[in-house]
Amino acid sequence: MPTKINGPSIIEAAGTRPKRIEEYIGRVNSGTGAVSVARMRSPSGWQEPGQRPAFDEYTVVLNGMLRVESEAGTLDIRAGEAVITHAGQWVRYSTPEPEGAEYIAVCLPAFSPETVHRDDEKD
């Protein structure tokens, strides 16, 4: 039988301003470790610490613009565009424009605080 997800769990976000993370599929909401699917709503001026995650992240921007910084440069991903960030590579996300951004993030394997490896964490 398929598993119905009745709604998301709200996950606490890292960063400079409150960002809303609604996890539909993942370790918290569905007990799924293979993949996570979440809707993000980031306000203008939000920025999270840099990170070197142990998962690939596939992001589709629905509204606004998401800035993605990496060691290779900076990408501005706008509504209707997508970006893939790869496990082991340094990345930092932010939403500098006035309208912020809304986007869907899919992580393989599922997002975990233990595998995101943020710059401000002590190893």
pLDDT of residue 17: 87
Chain centroid offset of residue 66 CA: 10
pLDDT of residue 121: 65
pLDDT of residue 21: 96
Helical segments of 1-123, H only: 113-116
Say whether pLDDT at 36 is over 80. yes
pTM over 0.95: no
Say whether pLDDT at 39 is over 80. yes
The pLDDT tens digits for 73-86 are 999 999 999 999 99
Q: Which of 2, 9, 6 is nearest to 110 (CA)?
A: 9
Question: What's the start-to-end Cα distance of the chain, in Å?
Answer: 42
Mean pLDDT of all residues in 72-99 = 98
pLDDT of residue 122: 56
pLDDT of residue 46: 97
Say whether pLDDT at 112 is over 60. yes
Compute the half-sphere exposure of residue 9: CA atoms within 13 Å on the CB side of its CA: 12
Mean pLDDT of all residues in 20-37 = 97
C-beta contacts of 19-25 below 8 A and 24+ residues apart: 19/43, 19/46, 19/48, 23/111, 25/110
pLDDT of residue 120: 79
Q: Which of 46, 51, 40, 120 is nearest to 86 (CA)?
A: 51
